[in-house]
Amino acid sequence: MELDYLLHFLARLAANNTTEWMAAHRPDYQRARAACTELVRQVLAGVAPTDPDLADLTTAEVLFRLHKNDRAHRDPEPYKRRMGAGLKLGGRHAPRAGYFVAIQPEGRNWLGAGTFHPTPAMLAAIRQEIHYNGDEFHRRRQTPALLAHFPDGLDTTGPQLTRPPRGYSAQDPDLAWLRLKTYGAGRFYTDAEVLAPDFVAKIVAGIAAARPLVDFLNEALPVAERNGIGAETR
């Protein structure tokens, strides 16, 4: 598994992010893509025995495209500066919580767990579940295993409402959590950690530690989303 080559390629891409450069370095891209695919394959193999939601996924279902699908008009770069995958039942764009692995040089290698771009329906369902079942939500977001792998816990620094969500009181004891627009935990790895022999094992262990929280978020969803049905096609 050539993770050193993958990091090297992504560093070069960051400095030459044009379609012309990519066209001239297509074999390099394919070699880097193969390294990322092998990483994800090994992670899937590691989590499959204990997580039935991830057991039957293929790399083709979870790997993200390198090309930016939603590039803003002012964004001159056609390619992302990272390669990665979204591991969740139904594939990378399924409307449910899951796990995200990204390789990006200079210490931006990332493992995330949760839902970072939830639909309005997902947000409403998760907020309702927190309102009804707050004690269980707090227990799962603060488990020692989760905090050992994600020391910052559930991220509260992202986008959030300035007022209580519609239908919730300003005096709700969980208001700070109900106002969030994303529900996820994440952590970065250095390039040296990526190249270490135990990197896959660390990712697998991090996913296992975050599973109770991810399960809580998915248990809140309607049956179709909970079963990984209705994946987006973008």
Domain of residue 69, residue span: 3-226
Residues 104, 190: Cα–Cα separation, whole Å: 9
CA of residue 96 relative to chain centroid, distance: 11
Residue 144 lies in a domain: yes
Residue 212 lies in a domain: yes
Residue 158 lies in a domain: yes
Cβ within 8 Å of residue 221, ≥6 positions away: 95, 96, 122, 125, 126
Residue 179 lies in a domain: yes
* Prediction pTM value: 0.92
Residue 231 lies in a domain: no
Of 137, 125, 134, give the one whose Cα is nearest residue 167.
125
Residue 234 lies in a domain: no
Residue 220 lies in a domain: yes
CA of residue 190 relative to chain centroid, distance: 17
HSE-CB at 190 with a 13 A cutoff on CA atoms is 3
Is the Cβ–Cβ distance between 106 and 191 less than 8 Å?
A: yes
Residue 232 lies in a domain: no
Per-position pLDDT tens, the chain of length 234:
899 999 999 999 999 999 999 999 999 999 999 999 999 999 999 999 999 999 999 999 999 999 997 655 577 899 999 999 999 999 999 999 999 999 999 999 999 999 999 999 999 999 999 999 999 999 999 999 999 999 999 999 999 999 999 999 999 999 999 999 999 999 999 999 999 999 999 999 999 999 999 999 999 997 645 555 554 432
3-state secondary structure the chain: CCHHHHHHHHHHHHHCCCHHHHHHCHHHHHHHHHHHHHHHHHHHHHHCCCCCCCCCCCHHHHECCCECCCCCCCCCCCECCCEEEEECCCCCCCCCCEEEEEECCCCCEEEEEEECCCCHHHHHHHHHHHHHCHHHHHHHHCCHHHHHHCCCCCCCCCCECCCCCCCCCCCCCCHHHHCECCEEEEEEECHHHHHCCCHHHHHHHHHHHHHHHHHHHHHCCCHHHHCCCCCCCC
Residues 192, 175: Cα–Cα separation, whole Å: 40
Length of the chain: 234
How many distinct structural domains can be found in the chain?
A: 1
